[in-house]
Structure 1
Amino acid sequence: MTILPDFHKAGSRSGTPTRIILFLVAILSLVFVAHRTRRWYRLRHVPGPLACGLSSLPMTYWSFEGRIHEHWKALAEKYGPLVRIGPNEVMCTDGEVLRRILSVRSTYKKDDWYIAARTHSDYDNILSMRDKDLRRERKKKLMPAYIGKGTEDFEIGIDRSIAAWMDLIDRKYLATGADFRPLDLALHTHYYSLDALGEVAYSRPLGYLAADSDVNNVIAISKKALPLMIGFGNYTPLYRLLHKWPFSYVLPRSGDQAGLGAILGISSALIEERLRPDAKPQRDMLQCLISSGLTREELDVEVGLQFFAGTDSIASAIRMTLLFLISTPSAYRKLQSEIDTAKLSTPIRNAEAQALPYLQAVIHEGLRVFPPIGSALAYKNVPAGGDTIAGCALPAGTRVATGAAIFAMCRSKDLWGPDADVFRPERWLEAGEEEVAAMGKVAALNFSGGQFECPGRVLTFMHLNKVIPELLRRYDLTVVNPVRPARIRGAMMWLMEDMWIRVEKRQGCQ
Structure 2
Amino acid sequence: MTLLSALPSPLSDGLSSSSAIQLLYVAVGAVVTYNLFTWYLSWRRLSHIPGPAGAGWSKWWLLRNTLGGNMHLALKQACEEHGPLVRVGPNVLITNDPDTLRRMWGVRSPWKKADWYDAVRWDPTKDNLISQRDDDKHTALRAKMAAGYSGKENEGLERTIDEQILEFMDLIERKYLSSDGEFRPMDFARKIQYFTLDTISQLAFGKNFGHVREDRDVYQYIKITEESMPVMLILTVFPALARMLQSRMMRGLLPSEKDKVGFGRFIGVAKSVVAERLASDDPYRKDMLGSFLAHGLTRVEAEGETLTQIIAGSDTTATAIRTTLLFLMTNPGCYAKLTGEIREADRKHVISEPITNVEAQTLLPYLQAVIKEGLRRFPPVTGTMNTEVPEGGAEICGYQVPAGTDVGWSAVAIQHSKVVYGEDAELFRPERWLEAKGEDLKNMTATLDMVFKYGKWQCLGKNVALIELNKIFVELLRRYDFSLVDPTNPWYSYSAGIFIQHGLNVRVTRVAKAYCNGA
Q: Does 1:396 align with 2:418?
A: no
Quote the residue 1:297 is aligned against.
300
SS at match of 1:400: strand
- Paired residue total: 497
What is the one-letter code of the residue matched to 1:339? I
Quote the residue 2:377 is aligned against.
369
Q: Does 1:436 align with 2:441?
A: yes
What is the one-letter code of the residue matched to 1:175? S
Structure 1 position 14, deviation (Å): 7.6
For the 8 Å contact 1:226–1:493, the answer to whether it is kept is no
What is the one-letter code of the residue matched to 1:320? T
Quote the residue 2:175 is aligned against.
172
User: In the superposition, relative to structure 1, how do residues 389 and 280 fare at CA in structure 2: closer, same or farther (>3 Å)?
Assistant: closer
Q: Does 1:184 align with 2:182?
A: no
User: In the superposition, relative to structure 1, how do residues 348 and 109 fare at CA in structure 2: closer, same or farther (>3 Å)?
Assistant: same
SS at match of 2:427: coil
User: In the superposition, relative to structure 1, how do residues 34 and 277 fare at CA in structure 2: closer, same or farther (>3 Å)?
Assistant: same
Quote the residue 2:37 is aligned against.
34
User: In the superposition, relative to structure 1, how do residues 314 and 21 fare at CA in structure 2: closer, same or farther (>3 Å)?
Assistant: farther
Alpha-carbon separation, structure 1, partners of 2:325 and 2:184: 19
Quote the residue 1:490 is aligned against.
495
What percent identity do the matched residue pairs reach? 38
| TM-score normalised per structure 1 | 0.94
User: In the superposition, relative to structure 1, how do residues 37 and 170 fare at CA in structure 2: closer, same or farther (>3 Å)?
Assistant: same
| TM-score normalised per structure 2 | 0.92
Alpha-carbon separation, structure 1, partners of 2:438 and 2:228: 43
User: Which of residues 386, 392, 398 in structure 2 aligns to 1:379?
Assistant: 386
Q: What is the correspondence of 1:57-206 to structure 2 with a 5 Å cutoff?
A: 57-206=60-209
Task: Identify the range of structure 1 (296-305 vs 277-286) with the bigger mean alpha-carbon deviation.
Answer: 277-286
User: In the superposition, relative to structure 1, how do residues 17 and 284 fare at CA in structure 2: closer, same or farther (>3 Å)?
Assistant: farther
Alpha-carbon separation, structure 2, partners of 1:169 and 1:104: 44
SS at match of 2:391: coil
User: In the superposition, relative to structure 1, how do residues 241 and 163 fare at CA in structure 2: closer, same or farther (>3 Å)?
Assistant: same
User: In the superposition, relative to structure 1, how do residues 137 and 281 fare at CA in structure 2: closer, same or farther (>3 Å)?
Assistant: closer
Alpha-carbon separation, structure 2, partners of 1:296 and 1:359: 40
For the 8 Å contact 1:64–1:227, the answer to whether it is kept is yes
Structure 1 position 260, deviation (Å): 1.0
User: Which of residues 391, 395, 419 in structure 2 aligns to 1:414?
Assistant: 419
Alpha-carbon separation, structure 2, partners of 1:16 and 1:475: 86
Quote the residue 1:229 is aligned against.
232
User: Which of residues 192, 213, 237 in structure 2 aligns to 1:210?
Assistant: 213
What is the one-letter code of the residue matched to 1:449? Y
Structure 1 position 17, deviation (Å): 7.9
The C-alpha deviation readout for 1:422-456, integer Å capped at 9, x for no partner, is 10000111111321110111111111111111101
Alpha-carbon separation, structure 2, partners of 1:213 and 1:334: 33
**Aligned Cα RMSD in Å?**
1.8
Structure 1 position 15, deviation (Å): 7.1
SS at match of 2:387: strand
Structure 1 position 411, deviation (Å): 1.4
Q: Which runs of 5+ in 1 are unaligned?
A: 1-8
For the 8 Å contact 1:151–1:285, the answer to whether it is kept is yes
Q: Which runs of 5+ in 2 are unaligned?
A: 1-11
Alpha-carbon separation, structure 2, partners of 1:301 and 1:230: 21
Structure 1 position 240, deviation (Å): 1.0
Task: Identify the range of structure 1 (199-208 vs 361-370) with the bigger mean alpha-carbon deviation.
Answer: 199-208
Structure 1 position 224, deviation (Å): 1.7
Quote the residue 1:475 is aligned against.
480
The C-alpha deviation readout for 1:338-381, integer Å capped at 9, x for no partner, is 0011121111111111011100000000000000102x010100
For the 8 Å contact 1:145–1:151, the answer to whether it is kept is yes
User: In the superposition, relative to structure 1, how do residues 218 and 75 fare at CA in structure 2: closer, same or farther (>3 Å)?
Assistant: same
